[in-house]
A and B are shown apart, each in its own frame.
Chain A
Amino acid sequence: MEQIRKRQLNKKATKQRILKRFQSRSAATYFVISLAILLVTMILSVSYGAAQINWTVIRESLMHFDVQNTQHLILYDLRFPRVLAAALIGAFLAISGVIMQGLTRNPLASPSIMGVSSGAGFMMALALAFFPHTSQFGLILWAFTGAGIGASMVFSVGLFSKRGLTPVKLALAGAAVSALLQSASTMLAMYFNVTRDISFWYAGNIAGIPASSVRLALIIAVIGFVSAGLLSRSLTLMSLGDEVAKGLGQRTGLVRVCGILIVLLLTGTAVSISGTIGFIGLIIPHITKKMIGMDYRWLIPFSAVIGAWLLVTADIAARMVNPPYETPVGALTALIGVPFFLFLARREGGGLI
């Protein structure tokens, strides 16, 4: 009895020590600074557009909102939802990437590479072909299911192969699953003549997102962020490897299931609102880990903020590249993401096979 208690106490102490070692003193500073930068960028994004709206108007609209004032309405109904959507989706994808890389300890794990995004896109194509009047919430459910299908297809490749899901296999399986699901979606789209609706998901776009979608995304954000936060300690321990985590009393299976559910929820929502925007989930975790270390209690919120900032910035760029047309923001994130992916491939390709 005594011995068992002692061992448990001992285990607890070790856990504390490990968690403490991961803690980075500068994490809080980084987080606050990045949050400030995000806010400034969001304000920039809000003031950029066809109608000239300056800071005074923005402040005024926040203090005394006037339903008759077109500028106020533009802010409330168009620009605030858009910038919020960009920030939320960026955060969703970044958190998904962090969790996926933490759970799989695979540097290439991310929503677009793991087939999650293309799965969600496929199910939405299916939904639009057969149930064209699906509500926004319904679409999120479809996308959620699809995200699950895509991810499980890629994971089962790892499950069935002898040496598990190595980074290379993951990337290859992801590419194959995406190709399969995309060809299926395109065939569906062509047959049911919904090409116009579907082509958009493959480029990703956050223009004209209705305020109702953003409200839904906000609710999901609360659920996702809170549960990711609750999971963060376990994730830190998981990042040491299954054996160690088990030894420290983690129920690794449960953590894994919860983590995957969060990923599916966040990615599915992001895809159903904005289409497939690639590479954010891949890049962000690598950058944030370098900056503040492996403590997931800070890593998750910090990644969310940086992800949000990246997509808000990309969205501003997408509007400035070729006005008055909007460039699909997915093409822009790919332009930033590809060199990064190549860098990782160059670094990892030799070792982690």
Chain B
Amino acid sequence: MKHLWTTSVMLSASFMLAACGNSQVEAPEEETTEIPEEAAEGPKTLIDGLGNEVEIPSNPEKVLGSYLEDYLVSLDVTPVAQWSVSDGESIQDYLQEDLSGVPLIPHDLPYESVLEYEPDLMIIRDAVEQDMYEQYAQIAPTYVLKSSPTEWRETLTEVGEVLGMEGKAESVLETYDAKAQEKAEELSAVADSESAAAVWMVNNSLFVVHPERSSGAVMYGDLGLEIPEVVSNLSSDADWAAISLEELAQMDVDHLFFVNSDGPEAELFEDRLWQNIPAVQQDQVYQYGPETSWLYYGPIASEQVLDNVVDSITK
């Protein structure tokens, strides 16, 4: 009995990602050797998303950016602690190659846990955390991001700006765009104007990715796959919108990327409705576990999705 009502899962969509298994991360080779050489000269003052004047220390050594680890790692910054849920039951597995050994901090950032790591700079975003802004600001300079959580490019640029690494951020973006273009061409050679969708199953509930967010932005925006009608009709503001089995069964899609947090023995696969889906019958369903980067945002997550999509379809 593991059904749950929509909202409580929408919340889980951003907070709790049931994770199991090991990470298989392709290291971003081009970027690993560079050292942040352009660290800023002296302390500078920036206006953050709440309108606070934040004095950013020059050369912050202990940076805390919970749920922003993807951006930090892509800029070669190792955070002082990393996002986790329930004492590490869920962490961002796909980043562990770069984050191994980095201690965990609960996702709701209790004051005392933050104080424990004594960061010199904190970057935060969530509405929950904004309420606590004044307390955090007493521990360390705290910068609240202006950019929308759904725009990873803008977020990367902003994080780069805060850390005084604008150039580095730009080069990460350029590298990504070049790779995306190359992959898109590779893809269009075998699957021109074919449609795709990403569906996430957790606790026997199904969610489909928003066409402009997370892995959706990569599939449709960067790789040019077609958006199926059912997906574009979903009028939801969530990154992953609830979709009933009924709607999924009627989805006319060529390639189905299936992010499975319930394990290979989930009841769904026995279902006659599932077996009737065209993509399933044509064996064009590609399964990924929750340890992959499909549910996340950021340059590394997106790059891994690029590889996943193209590898699966061209295979």
Task: Name the CB-closest residue of B to A210.
Answer: B267
Task: Name the CB-closest residue of A to B205.
Answer: A208
The stretch among A54-62, A68-76, A243-251 that forms the contact with chain B is: A68-76
Which of A209, A273, A325 sits near B6, CB closer than 8 Å?
A325
Instruction: Report how far A203 CA is from B4 CA in the complex, Å.
Output: 10
- Quick check: B1 and A273 within 8 Å, CB to CB? yes
Find residues 170-227 in chain A having any chain B CB closer than 8 Å to their own CB: 193, 195-197, 199-200, 203, 205, 207-210, 213
- Quick check: A50 and B246 within 8 Å, CB to CB? yes
Task: From known contacts A196-B12, A197-B203, A207-B3, infer whether A51 and B247 are also in contact, taking CB-CB under 8 Å.
Answer: yes
Cβ of A49 within 8 Å of any chain B Cβ, yes or no, is yes
Tell me which residues across on chain B come within 8 A of A203, comparing CB atoms.
Answer: 5
Which of A49, A197, A199 sits near B246, CB closer than 8 Å?
A49
Task: From known contacts A139-B1, A199-B8, A326-B5, infer whether A77 and B271 are also in contact, taking CB-CB under 8 Å.
Answer: yes
Of the candidates B1, B12, B236, B272, the one having the most CB atoms from chain A within 10 angstroms of its own CB is: B1
- Quick check: A74 and B1 within 8 Å, CB to CB? no
- Quick check: A207 and B5 within 8 Å, CB to CB? yes
- Quick check: A196 and B1 within 8 Å, CB to CB? no
Instruction: Report how far A73 CA is from B244 CA in the complex, Å.
Output: 14
Task: Name the CB-closest residue of B to A212.
Answer: B267
Interface string of B67-105 (1 = CB under 8 A from A): 000000000000000000110010000000000000000
Which of B6, B204, B236, B276 sits near A73, CB closer than 8 Å?
B276
- Quick check: A200 and B272 within 8 Å, CB to CB? no
Task: Name the CB-closest residue of B to A193.
Answer: B86
- Quick check: B272 and A73 within 8 Å, CB to CB? yes
Task: Name the CB-closest residue of A to B204.
Answer: A208
Of the candidates A49, A50, A79, the one having the most CB atoms from chain B within 10 angstroms of its own CB is: A50
- Quick check: A209 and B9 within 8 Å, CB to CB? no
Cβ of A34 within 8 Å of any chain B Cβ, yes or no, is no
Cβ of B7 within 8 Å of any chain A Cβ, yes or no, is yes
Instruction: Please give the number of chain A residues whose Cβ is less than 8 angstroms from any Cβ of chain B in the complex.
Output: 33
Instruction: Report how far A203 CA is from B246 CA in the complex, Å.
Output: 23
Instruction: Report how far A136 CA is from B16 CA in the complex, Å.
Output: 25
The total of Cβ contacts below 8 Å across the A-B interface reads: 85
Which of B3, B235, B276 sits near A208, CB closer than 8 Å?
B3
Task: Name the CB-closest residue of A to B268.
Answer: A210
Cβ of A352 within 8 Å of any chain B Cβ, yes or no, is no
Instruction: Report how far A67 CA is from B249 CA in the complex, Å.
Output: 13
- Quick check: B271 and A196 within 8 Å, CB to CB? no
Cβ of A234 within 8 Å of any chain B Cβ, yes or no, is no
Shortest CB–CB separation between residue B117 and chain A, in angstroms? 23
Cβ of B315 within 8 Å of any chain A Cβ, yes or no, is no
Instruction: Report how far A26 CA is from B80 CA in the complex, Å.
Output: 76
Instruction: Please give the number of chain B residues whose Cβ is less than 8 angstroms from any Cβ of chain A in the complex.
Output: 32
- Quick check: A196 and B16 within 8 Å, CB to CB? yes
Cβ of B54 within 8 Å of any chain A Cβ, yes or no, is no
Cβ of A351 within 8 Å of any chain B Cβ, yes or no, is no
Cβ of A124 within 8 Å of any chain B Cβ, yes or no, is yes
Cβ of A339 within 8 Å of any chain B Cβ, yes or no, is no
Cβ of B46 within 8 Å of any chain A Cβ, yes or no, is no
- Quick check: A197 and B4 within 8 Å, CB to CB? yes
Find residues 195-241 in chain B having any chain A CB closer than 8 Å to their own CB: 203-205, 234-236
Instruction: Report how far A290 CA is from B245 CA in the complex, Å.
Output: 42
Shortest CB–CB separation between residue A223 and chain B, in angstroms? 20
Cβ of A350 within 8 Å of any chain B Cβ, yes or no, is no
Shortest CB–CB separation between residue B37 and chain A, in angstroms? 42
Find residues 63-87 in chain A having any chain B CB closer than 8 Å to their own CB: 67-68, 70, 73-74, 77-79
Cβ of B273 within 8 Å of any chain A Cβ, yes or no, is yes
Task: From known contacts A193-B16, A324-B242, infer whether A70 and B5 are also in contact, taking CB-CB under 8 Å.
Answer: no
- Quick check: A73 and B1 within 8 Å, CB to CB? no
Task: From known contacts A197-B203, A199-B8, A324-B242, infer whether A67 and B3 are also in contact, taking CB-CB under 8 Å.
Answer: no
Instruction: Report how far A317 CA is from B165 CA in the complex, Å.
Output: 54
Which of A49, A79, A199 sits near B4, CB closer than 8 Å?
A199
Shortest CB–CB separation between residue B239 and chain A, in angstroms? 15
Task: Name the CB-closest residue of B to A132.
Answer: B2
Instruction: Report how far A3 CA is from B272 CA in the complex, Å.
Output: 69
Cβ of B250 within 8 Å of any chain A Cβ, yes or no, is yes
Instruction: Report how far A209 CA is from B246 CA in the complex, Å.
Output: 13
Instruction: Report how far A62 CA is from B250 CA in the complex, Å.
Output: 20
Instruction: Report how far A197 CA is from B4 CA in the complex, Å.
Output: 6
Task: From known contacts A50-B246, A78-B246, A193-B89, infer whether A205 and B276 are also in contact, taking CB-CB under 8 Å.
Answer: no
Cβ of A110 within 8 Å of any chain B Cβ, yes or no, is no
Tell me which residues across on chain B come within 8 A of A78, comparing CB atoms.
Answer: 244-246, 273
Tell me which residues across on chain B come within 8 A of A79, comparing CB atoms.
Answer: 246
- Quick check: B7 and A136 within 8 Å, CB to CB? no
- Quick check: B8 and A77 within 8 Å, CB to CB? no
Cβ of A328 within 8 Å of any chain B Cβ, yes or no, is yes
Instruction: Report how far A88 CA is from B12 CA in the complex, Å.
Output: 31
Task: Name the CB-closest residue of B to A211.
Answer: B271
Instruction: Report how far A338 CA is from B276 CA in the complex, Å.
Output: 44
Cβ of A272 within 8 Å of any chain B Cβ, yes or no, is yes
Tell me which residues across on chain A come within 8 A of B236, comparing CB atoms.
Answer: 324
Tell me which residues across on chain B come within 8 A of A67, comparing CB atoms.
Answer: 272
- Quick check: B1 and A136 within 8 Å, CB to CB? yes
Shortest CB–CB separation between residue A275 and chain B, in angstroms? 9
Instruction: Report how far A131 CA is from B32 CA in the complex, Å.
Output: 44
- Quick check: B5 and A74 within 8 Å, CB to CB? no
- Quick check: B6 and A326 within 8 Å, CB to CB? yes
Instruction: Report how far A98 CA is from B52 CA in the complex, Å.
Output: 62
Task: Name the CB-closest residue of A to B6.
Answer: A325
Task: From known contacts A193-B86, A196-B16, A324-B242, infer whether A70 and B4 are also in contact, taking CB-CB under 8 Å.
Answer: no
- Quick check: A205 and B272 within 8 Å, CB to CB? no
Tell me which residues across on chain B come within 8 A of A136, comparing CB atoms.
Answer: 1
Which of B1, B7, B86 sits near A124, CB closer than 8 Å?
B1
- Quick check: B272 and A77 within 8 Å, CB to CB? yes
Q: Ordered nearest first, which 7 A-B pairs have the shortest CB separation?
A: A193-B86, A200-B4, A208-B3, A73-B273, A325-B6, A50-B247, A199-B8
Interchain Cβ contacts under 8 Å between A and B, 6 examples:
A67-B272, A74-B246, A193-B16, A193-B85, A196-B203, A197-B2
